[in-house]
Amino acid sequence: MVTKLTQGFWAKTARIILRNRILILVLLTVLTVFLAMQWENMRFSNTQANLLPDHHPVNLEYLSFLEKFGEEGNVVVLAVKDSSLFTPEKYNRWNKLSKQLEAFPEVDFVLSTDNLQELVKDSIKQEFVLLPFMKATPQTNAEVVSLTDRLFNELPFYDNLLFNKETSTIRTVIYVDKDIINTSARKDFILKDLNVLIESFEKETGLDVRISGMPYIRTMNSQNIIDEIGKFILAALGVTSLIFFFFFRSFRATFISMFVVIIGVMWSFGVLGLLQYEITVLTALIPPLIIVIGIPNCIFLINKYQQEVKKHGNQALSLQRVISKIGNATLMTNVTTASGFATFIITDSKLLKEFGIVASINIIGIFILSILIIPIIYSFMYLPKDKHLKHLKTKWIETFVNWMENIVRNKRISVYIVSILLLVTSIIGIYQINISGSPIEDMPKGEQFFKDIRFFEEEFDGIMPIEIVVDTKRPKGVLKPSTLKRLDQLGTVILEIPELSRPISVVDMVKYSKQAFYSGIPKYYQLPTTQENTFIMDVARKSTGQSNMLNGFVDSTGQVARITTYIKDVKTERMEEIEAKLQDNIDKIFPAERYEVSMTGSALLFLKGTKYLVKNLIMSLALAIALIALFMAYLFRSFRMIIISLIPNLLPLVITAGVMGFVGVPIKPSTILVFSIAFGISVDDTIHFLAKYRQELISNKWRIKKSVYAALRESGVSMFYTSIVLFFGFSVFIISSFGGTVALGALVSATLLFAMLSNLVLLPSLLLSLERSIANKQTLKEPMIDILPKEEDKDK
């Protein structure tokens, strides 16, 4: 009953589409214009990708830190490693650059050799005062040498903050206004003002200025994402149109397909604007994905139209049959593909949820465009010529189909042996997969800003902040001698870890106070003794200048302190070892009954987010498999057929995971997407093949061998065409400068190629080997939905 209703629905749909061609085109035009108007609402992400949900404890801890101490990632750093800097002309020009930067309203303040403050004891007033380090502009080489000598040897407080004494690298630290750090104003300042100013400085002096810091990295990374969107769209259009033309040898068919997917791309941008979602590294992939996924729809529809024209030459009947016979199959395959993407919606990650929503909506959208536009456009055109139908009998395709049939017919045992060997080898590879929690691993390695990241890691031991927050549980508890000693102990532990930078905390300020108390002699840069503490801290309490310097290290109540260190880009396992070592020492140094200590910061946030995401995405993949299994059960009403259909689609996923383990591609947000995407797409081939197989079984009176071979020959060509388009379509992501996008493109392409061979060789082999137990009227009951309606007589 349901089958008849389905057939009737698609026959009626075909009549409605073909009888209301003009009205449908007008409605599509209006909808496209409306969505194009939403483009103005599109915005590129200005915030750092947070992979954790808002309510996650790690995220709440980070937000609590920001509330106490403000935005941690608001520092941009400039550095020069060049001995020629230490000449009066260039040194003064470097100091002038600091003044120019400080003049921008987007900058809170600049810390540099130009405005460096020195803590000095005023013996008369018995308080500490901040005096300019540089009393006058140096005019001679000797004056510059004297200044730098004092900086490197007499001011340990600024070591690793403003200079690296060993390499003579000088830094300027720019504190960007926290209110604009997550807005487009940050991007404008960095791209238009800061970069222009630096270029001008480099041109004047011939010095190479290195730039880094989280605001700068995020801005340059986002700009690369924006630049790549157009590149991906053009590459996807170019590759898919070339392959399409190679298969069909028809400019007309190629242009029609390109027109459909270009409208699909316009819709995808419109949906992003309509929902007011930000364009992130993931949502930027949707427009080219729509091209790659939309072209197979065009292949199935145009191929069927040309087959029908070749059969009887009746255009109206051909177009009606395209919709009524292929519409349902195309809908089913698009629904399964959309389901693969829609499973991301169940994750708590905003980044993935938005990606899943927009992708699944637009996959259904490209189906609607295909089923409406292609038949309508062809209805206004003359019939295809014989030369346009030659591809239906291409010799090399015939050779490929014969090769597959020969393997299925004569080498099934070899197919199973190879499949088992691949499965076992892949499982071994899976055990070698690592998880990557590095926020910079996927960034474009060839870009200057990435090279600058490596420079700062080498010179100043990292750029990703780790924050340790110590709550003394009592007001003004931070400055107690016992607390300061404990903070200093933890600082010593941090110094012993080579991947971490020198920690910055209130301890440094107190040590500097003691040095200032003893006339600035460097050897006194240490914590005061118990006897010294009383009178040094008494002087400190009178000093407003020092009080201002404490603001960044201690909260307003004096109860909570922070220790800031920076970590290099290390492997996830090493980062977890460092975290565990720090936690062990925190537990030993700070008794739980007296102190409450937590670790946070961007580096740890990303690590925890990645692990959380991997766990969620494994669940979403399991849900995708379960959903599609239920879908197959609804279509074929056979448990055995579900198992048989899942095997050739799960094996490619296992093989891909094994390859990742062997070649060292880690599990990370970009690569974990591969499995849900590839599974949702590859199962389309299974649906087409099994639907055709069932149809052939009924036509051939349940003669299994004849039905399998007939299904293989007829479905094999379309499956080959679409798989090749998908393979090369996803391969365009390899041109990306982002490591994660490259891995995504390569892995999805490889998985879909494995899936094609699996569906064309392993699936029919299983059907033939298990023919007695699965191919009977009891096992293959009447489907709930007939995907491929029964063939009409040729003379209709």
> Which range (51-55, 333-337, 394-398, 740-744) has the least confidence?
394-398
Q: Which residue has the higher pLDDT, 793 or 525?
A: 525
Q: Give start and end residues of each alpha helix (H) in 206-282.
A: 214-248, 251-274
The answer to whether residues 441 and 151 touch, using CB atoms and an 8 Å cutoff, is: no
pLDDT tens for each residue of 327-374: 777 887 888 788 878 878 877 777 788 888 999 999 999 999 999 999
Predicted pLDDT of residue 546: 47
Contacts 24+ apart (CB under 8 A), 262-266: 262/237, 263/28, 263/32, 263/369, 263/373, 264/290, 264/291, 264/294, 264/362, 264/365, 264/366, 264/369, 265/233, 265/290, 265/291, 266/32, 266/35, 266/36
Predicted pLDDT of residue 274: 92
Question: For residue 774, what are its two tokens?
Answer: 């699965």
pLDDT above 70 for 796: no
Q: Which residue has the higher pLDDT, 771 or 376?
A: 376
DSSP 189: I
3-class SS of residue 795:
coil
Domains and CATH numbers, the chain: 2-48+220-431+606-774 (1.20.1640.10)
Above pLDDT 70, what percent of the chain?
Answer: 89
Distance from C-alpha of 155 to C-alpha of 404, rounded to nearest angstrom: 76
Contacts 24+ apart (CB under 8 A), 474-477: 474/559, 475/557, 475/558, 475/559, 476/557, 476/558, 476/559, 477/558, 477/559
pLDDT above 50 for 792: no
Strands 560-567 and 596-600: unpaired
CA angle 685, 690, 696 (to 5 degrees): 130
The answer to whether residues 35 and 267 touch, using CB atoms and an 8 Å cutoff, is: yes
Question: For residue 270, what are its two tokens?
Answer: 């419109």
Distance from C-alpha of 567 to C-alpha of 457, rounded to nearest angstrom: 8
The answer to whether residues 190 and 219 touch, using CB atoms and an 8 Å cutoff, is: yes
Distance from C-alpha of 597 to C-alpha of 526, rounded to nearest angstrom: 24
- Does pTM top 0.85 for this prediction? no
The answer to whether residues 215 and 463 touch, using CB atoms and an 8 Å cutoff, is: no
Sign of the alpha-carbon dihedral angle for 143, 149, 155, 161: positive
Distance from C-alpha of 196 to C-alpha of 599, rounded to nearest angstrom: 37
Q: Could you tell me which of 557, 553, 559 has the C-alpha nearest to residue 474? A: 559
pLDDT band at 71 (very low <50, low <70, confident <90, very high): low
Distance from C-alpha of 693 to C-alpha of 699, rounded to nearest angstrom: 10
pLDDT band at 716 (very low <50, low <70, confident <90, very high): confident
DSSP string, 703-751: -HHHHHHHHHHHHHHHHHHHHHHHHHHHHGGGG-SSHHHHHHHHHHHHH
Q: Which residue has the higher pLDDT, 582 or 404?
A: 582
Predicted pLDDT of residue 260: 92
Phi-psi region of 27 (alpha: psi -120 to 50; beta: other; left: phi over 0): alpha
The mean of the pLDDT values for the chain is 81
pLDDT tens for each residue of 170-218: 999 888 887 777 777 788 888 888 889 999 999 999 999 999 888 888 7
> Which range (164-168, 280-284, 549-553, 649-653) has the least confidence?
549-553
pLDDT above 90 for 297: no
What is the three-state SS of 461-491?
CCCEEEEEEEECCCCCCCCCHHHHHHHHHHH
- Residue corresponding to tokens 């082999």: 765
